[in-house]
Structure 1
Amino acid sequence: MEIKVGIVHGAREIIVETEETAASVETAFSKAVDDGSVLTLTDDRGRKVLIPASRIAYLELGQEAARRVGFGAL
C-alpha cells in the first residue's frame, strides 16, 4: 500500500510503500496525534520512517492490493 504524508511547511510529501493494512496505519496515526508522539511507518524493505505527529498536515492512504506491472507480476 502506498502512503503519502504531507508535512507542515514542507514543499514535498513523503511517500512510503508498506505491507501494513490501512486500518493499522490509521490506528497508529490516530494514537500518535492524540499522544503528540511520533508516527512510525515501516516500508517494504524494512526501513523505518519516523515523523513527528505535530508536523503532519495530512495522511493519504492508497489501495491495499495494488496491481503490479511487468514481468515480476507473474
Structure 2
Amino acid sequence: MQVRIGVQFVPKELVVDTEQSADEVQHALAEALAAERGVFVLKDRRNGRVVIPADRVGYLEITEEEGRSVGFGTQYT
C-alpha cells in the first residue's frame, strides 16, 4: 500500500510504500499523537523506516494497491 504524508513546513510530500495495513498505519499515527512528543514511525517495503515528529504530520493519504491490468485493450464499434 502507498502512504502519502504531508509534513508541516515541508513543501514536498513523502511517499512511502509499506506492507502495513491501513489500520496499522492509522493506529501508529493515533498512538504517536497521543504521546507527549510522540514520533510517527512507518516501515517501508525494503525494511527502512520513515520517522516524523507526530505533531508535524499535516495529513496522511492511504491508497490500497489495485490489481494492475496487463496487455492491450480492444474497442469494438
TM, length-normalised to structure 1:
0.84
Aligned residues: 69
- Is 1:52 the counterpart of 2:59? The answer is no
Specify the code of the residue in structure 1 equivalent to 2:16: V
Per-residue deviation, 1:54: 1.1
Q: Could you tell me which residue of structure 1 aligns to residue 32 of structure 2? A: 32
Structure 2, unpaired ranges of 5+: 71-77
SS in 2 for 1:60: strand
Note the 1:1-74 alignment, pairs <5 A: 1-35=1-35, 36-63=37-64, 65-68=65-68
SS in 1 for 2:26: helix
Distance of aligned partners of 1:47 and 1:21 in 2 relative to their CA distance in 1, 3 Å threshold: same
Per-residue deviation, 1:9: 1.5
Which structure has the highest helix share of the two?
1
Larger Rg: 2
SS in 1 for 2:67: coil
Specify the code of the residue in structure 1 equivalent to 2:52: I
**Percent of paired sites with the same residue:** 33
> How much is the aligned-residue C-alpha RMSD, in angstroms?
1.4
SS in 2 for 1:27: helix
TM, length-normalised to structure 2:
0.81
